[in-house]
Amino acid sequence: MCVAKALDDRMHILVKQGRAPFVGSSRGHEGIQVAATAALTPDDWLVPHYRGLGNAVARGLTPREWMLAVFAKAGDPLSGGRNIPGGSFAHKRLNIAPVSQVVAAWIPKAAGVAYASKLLGDGRVTLCSFGDGATSKGDFHEGLNFAGVHRLPVVFVCENNGYAISVPLSLQAGNPDLAARAEGYGMLGVRVDGTDVPACYAAAREAVRRARAGEGPTFIVARLWRINSHTSEDNQAKYRPPEELEDAARHDPLLRFEDWLIARGWLTAQQARRIRDEVDVEAGEAADWAEQQPDARADELEAHVFAPG
């Protein structure tokens, strides 16, 4: 969680300095992202959304790899410098499936990945994440319906931050209790506080266990707060009142988990500070290193897009 935050913070600095083009921030989402990914084994499939930096880092994405993507460098393992940062987390070594940036389009794809696992009998579980806005797309319905019909080994995680850019959940769903939809798809619906890391881990672990045991898919809805604007192209102060923004900053899963660990004597405030400082330095070094790497080549733009000849 600290690494994801450090990379996020560093990207904001890089954008302000005019060195990087764009940030899609995962601040506020790291709790469920890291906890849910921790419930998987390395062989399981991950199909995260563009905000899923915490998923990718928990999976093993290194700060240097991430910064190669941020600067669109040739060595970027996610898209070879073709996508905006977070546009796709495709990563072969980490079993992160390539998805498109089109909202919700990866949900039926995740069901397809899980269907393949079922047919192959390979015992793998697929974890698919998306935002509350994605739940009003047809792809959401088709993906969950297919998964329910075939009792697929998949865990759907809705990271409900209450907004799709500036559109509030009240304009997205007639019933704000999104987990209630699970029943209609013949799967288990689970509600969890997305800022409570141990609760997120317990919910994800049970859902992964069910999937692996052939008990079918689970739809987890994690309520959380988007701490930053939708992206660096957005200004949330234009559509969220100041009290709400202060409230969002108070719902930081990282601070909450730190307090939880400190209260149990498993971490001291000094150790927490040291971890934060260390990963900040690592993120800065990764950025400086990545910036010096060779750019993606323009003449390779169409590689892996069109068949040669």
Ligand X SMILES: Cc1ncc(C[n+]2csc(CCOP(=O)(O)OP(=O)(O)O)c2C)c(N)n1
Question: Active site includes 50?
Answer: no
Question: Active site includes 230?
Answer: yes
Catalytic, out of 141, 212, 239, 276: 239
**Cβ closer to ligand X: 55 or 117?**
55
Question: Of the candidates 149, 165, 255, 301, which one interacts with ligand X according to CB under 6 A?
Answer: 165
The answer to whether the CB of 49 falls within 8 A of the CB of 123 is no
Question: Contact region for ligand X (CB under 6 A) — 57-65, 95-103, 115-123, 277-285?
Answer: 95-103
Catalytic, out of 27, 49, 230, 251: 230
- Residue type at position 225: W
Of the candidates 219, 200, 95, the one whose C-alpha atom is nearest the C-alpha of residue 147 is 219
Residue 161 sits in the site that holds ligand X (CB under 6 A): yes
Residue 163 sits in the site that holds ligand X (CB under 6 A): yes
Least spacing, CB of residue 100 vs ligand X, in Å = 9
Q: Can you give the chain as a three-state secondary structure string?
A: CHHHHHHHHHHHHHHHCCCCCCCCCCCCCHHHHHHHHHCCCCCCEEECCCCCHHHHHHHCCCHHHHHHHHCCECCCCCCCCCCCCCCCCCECCCCECCCCCCCCCHHHHHHHHHHHHHHHCCCCCEEEEEECHHHHCHHHHHHHHHHHHCCCCEEEEEEECCEECCEEHHHCCCCCCHHHHHHHCCCEEEEEECCCHHHHHHHHHHHHHHHHCCCCCEEEEEECCCCCCCCCCCCHHHCCCHHHHHHHHHCCHHHHHHHHHHHCCCCCHHHHHHHHHHHHHHHHHHHHHHHCCCECCHHHCCCCCCCCC
- Residue type at position 65: E
Residue 101 sits in the site that holds ligand X (CB under 6 A): yes
Residue 31 sits in the site that holds ligand X (CB under 6 A): no
Residue 164 sits in the site that holds ligand X (CB under 6 A): yes
Question: Contact region for ligand X (CB under 6 A) — 4-12, 31-39, 97-105, 217-225?
Answer: 97-105
Question: Which are the contacts of 220, defined by CB distance < 8 A and separation ≥ 6?
Answer: 32, 36, 155, 156, 157, 158, 179, 190, 192, 203, 204, 207
Least spacing, CB of residue 163 vs ligand X, in Å = 5
Site string for ligand X, 196-235 (x = CB under 6 A): ----------------------------------x-----
Least spacing, CB of residue 129 vs ligand X, in Å = 9
Residue 134 sits in the site that holds ligand X (CB under 6 A): yes
Q: CB nearest ligand X: which residue?
A: 131
**Cβ closer to ligand X: 31 or 131?**
131
Read off the tokens for 33: 């992202």
**Cβ closer to ligand X: 125 or 164?**
164
Question: Of the candidates 77, 86, 131, 148, which one interacts with ligand X according to CB under 6 A?
Answer: 131
**Cβ closer to ligand X: 165 or 303?**
165
Question: Contact region for ligand X (CB under 6 A) — 100-108, 144-152, 213-221, 299-307?
Answer: 100-108
**Cβ closer to ligand X: 144 or 164?**
164
Least spacing, CB of residue 135 vs ligand X, in Å = 7
Q: Give the total residue count for the chain.
A: 309
What is the binding site for ligand X (CB under 6 A)?
A: 51, 101-103, 130-134, 159, 161, 163-165, 230
Residues marked as catalytic: 226, 230, 239
